Structure 1
Amino acid sequence: MNASVLCPPNSQLLSDGVVREVVQRTKPASSLHQLHGPYKGFSQSSLHPATELQKLLARDTYSTTPSASTTSVAVEQVSPKNVKRKRLEQMNRLNLKRLGTGDSNEGDHRPTAGSNSSANQHMKILELIKLGQYSERKRRRDNQRRYRQKQKDVTASLEETNQLLREEIEQLELRRCDILTHDNVWTATIDYFRVFRQGLRMGQPQLSNQFKFLQAAMAPDVLYNTGRGPKGILSSWGIWQWFDDVEVELEGLRVRAGGSLVASTATSATITERTLRNAFPHLWRSEVENRATTPQLASRLLSQHIVVRGSTTFEWDSARGCVVRMACQSDFLTPMLRLLGSLELVAHAFEKSRITPDFQQR
């Protein structure tokens, strides 16, 4: 007796030969349909074909021993691939039934009221889609047409503006040529204040350039206040040599009746000891009669910054092409009154000075 504590008493019934010859009884596809239901998806057990096979083997087994051919057919039928294929076929048939496309028992396809209504709805939807596409294409064409028209309008406007600018440039060129040939007094006036911007330059090259300009732009007998000729003009500028930091600024130009040109200027400068010694010598000297007042006035004027405003008139001779007369006026009284504070002190300052209130040399 082959009994052992490691084997059960009925081990001969569970031998390898007996288990290998066991065959599952085949069932129709309706059993699988009943198992999963027509409208249900794959259950948790369907995801594990091996577990399902074990249940079927436990339920449907034969006690008889089949032949070898029957065994091979049964193994092929219960393979996982066949189970999946049959399940997919059943699901496809059920979906076809739900859509109303056909029936396994009837061979004809009969349309129903629901299918007709659905087809009509589909046709209406297609018509609406086509209408929307047509409207969209029409809108795009209109936008492109408006954009091209806008570009054409902008191009035409730019061409018209360019033509107007060309005509204006031609007119300005003609006016410029007319000014250079006939109204050259403007150029002479501007160049005059450019050359004498910092007053009289005592260096040899600068003084030579200033004198050459006067010879070219002024008549040889040009009148300048009480002086005459280019040398008289240079002599009048010599007063500004008594000051420091001289700078002449041209503020404006205007034409008077008769064709003369008036230039408005503002000349800034600083009063120094040289200014007091040359322009106001009586304020600088220590004399007995003004010993009490001189130091006070001199200290008020020393190192002060002043601005002298004035105007210069230029008369132009078109036949000769040069300036024939200049008249210069300056207001030196106003800055002196601002520094000294009273007319009595201003009168005392100009009483024995070498310079007049209109900034002319005595």
Structure 2
Amino acid sequence: MTNPVALRRHVAQVLQWSGAARVERSLMLVSFLAVAVPIAAAVLLKRPDSGTIVALGAVLLAPEPTPGSASDDGTILGALLPAGAAMAAASVLARLPDADVLMIALITGAAALVNYSRPAALAGLRFIVVLVLTLALIGPHAVHGGAALLFGSGVLWRTALQLLGRYWQTDPVPVPVPVPATAARRVPTPRQRRAHLRRQLKTLQGWQYPLRLAAGLAAACAVRAIWPQHHVDWLVLVIVLMTPRTIEHLPVAVTQRVLGTLVGVGLAGAVVYAGLPYAALLMLLCLCGTLAPVARRGNYAAWCALSTPLILLAMDAHGPIGAGMLADRVAATMLGGLLIASANLAMDGLLRLAPAR
């Protein structure tokens, strides 16, 4: 029986809003322009599907500077490099046979970077997400051939707005808190990090995240091959976004992703089935894209709810959103959560059986 106290704690963590989420006028303005301008331009050019893909890149892939930091040049560079490498890799994989196998191999290698350092882990995770998103748009199961270029232009557009926003920032900049000299800690050298990585990769613990991710992706690709008539690309994306780096039997992020996706799908479905004009859906996308940065810092479920309508329209830019597609998205989200929980339990059992080193 589930412990009621643990269940209440889990629900509280799922719904908790981070105190670090601060509404900044400059950030909201940049977020609005990053989404509204490409959508408006695409509508004028009678290519609204292209506008949603550019907006998706601007919302999901652009680097977010750390609040209060003096400079975010390193953040921007560290985000653009893995994103560019992933889009280039996806463009090559989409033209090769057995793209799913090669994708899983690349993702497994990138996931191993979590053992090196935090910046390397963030770069590896960004590479993985961008690779899967781009392949979903341009791969053998995709519908939009120029998505990689549109995706990348969204990232560059948002980055350019962030750089320009420095000169028009009206929000008070927090004063950095000086760190006492006693709090300084020794930073490992690159040689020490490489030695640590080699030690980790000789153990099952060092491979637990890449193996869980690879197993989930293999299962998702198998489901997609068995039922190609359904919108199962979403399942591959769900596995990548929801698999936690550390083993959790009931990860908070998984519950937040399921809850946020259900809300986002319901939000998009309500607009579609209300019979509102297409312009209303585009206005909803602009609103979601504007609020998403605050939600990203505040609560993952809220972020998922706001980003889901954008992903829905971008991945299905070739046609209208129908009841079957919405049902497939919900089913894929639930199945993804089940696959991740199963992989976590299986890996936990293997780690218990593995000899200590």
Per the normalisation by structure 2, the TM-score is 0.18
- Larger strand proportion of the pair: 1
Name the larger-Rg structure.
1
Higher helix share: 2
Per the normalisation by structure 1, the TM-score is 0.18
